[in-house]
Amino acid sequence: GAGVSQTPSNKVTEKGKYVELRCDPISGHTALYWYRQSLGQGPEFLIYFQGTGAADDSGLPNDRFFAVRPEGSVSTLKIQRTERGDSAMYLCASSLSGYEQFFGPGTRLTVL
Amino acid sequence: GENVEQHPSTLSVQEGDSAVIKCTYSDSASNYFPWYKQELGKRPQLIIDIRSNVGEKKDQRIAVTLNKTAKHFSLHITETQPEDSAVYFCAATIPIPTFGRGTSLIVHP
């Protein structure tokens, strides 16, 4: 009965490194969303999964960003060659209906 | 794409007063309008939502109104309490949500 969980809660990396951020949605939720939130801003959409497939990846800023959800449950957001501008809170949300979304606690990424 | 404007960016009220936050959206295809409350360092939490076939919805001290013709919707909080202090985000969904920039509500005891 747990909510959405994300790991790690904090990630500090150096410019140019590769990072993976994990999201565990609420069990049975078929829709999963990734967002990026910078200080003083609302969540910014990155990618949306319906089941295993990416239904909409129009929010990914460039080809350094990639996400997978191989079994239709856990999802991993992957960022290659990180840049300082990638520093932000990365939020995951899941939904059963496609409307009401439940957010995870986020992963705060800091790129030095 | 969708564009959501949210006002004001900061709202300061006395405990017991009402607070109103307004959002406008650009795409008439948007059909779902949630409001989220985000306390400092915490995740956004859904507090109320409205679908495009409804004009108003109320849940205790919180209400949301929607004007589809004018493409705007508002959050109303009555009898504000210090624990209502947080950042509030609106969103318009088609079906991906576009969020407003947030309103920082401060309720003074």
Structure confidence by residue, pLDDT tens digits, B25-39: 999 999 999 999 999
- In angstroms, the separation between the Cα of residue B50 and the nearest Cα of chain A is 10
CB of B97 within 8 Å of a chain A CB? The answer is: yes
Query: Is residue A97 pLDDT above 90, yes or no?
Result: no
Report the distance separating Cα B59 and Cα B76, nearest Å.
10
Report the distance separating Cα A17 and Cα B11, nearest Å.
40
Contacts 24+ apart (CB under 8 A), B63-67: B64/B33, B64/B35, B66/B33
pLDDT digits (tens, 9 = 90+) for A20-77: 999 999 999 999 999 999 998 999 999 999 999 989 999 999 999 999 999 999 999 9
Asked if A100 and B45 come within 8 Å (Cβ–Cβ), the reply is no
pLDDT at A32: 96
Are A101 and B91 within 8 A, CB to CB?
A: no
Which structure tokens are listed for A96? 């059963």
A-chain residues within 8 Å CB-CB of B98?
A: 45
pLDDT digits (tens, 9 = 90+) for B40-60: 989 999 999 999 888 999 999
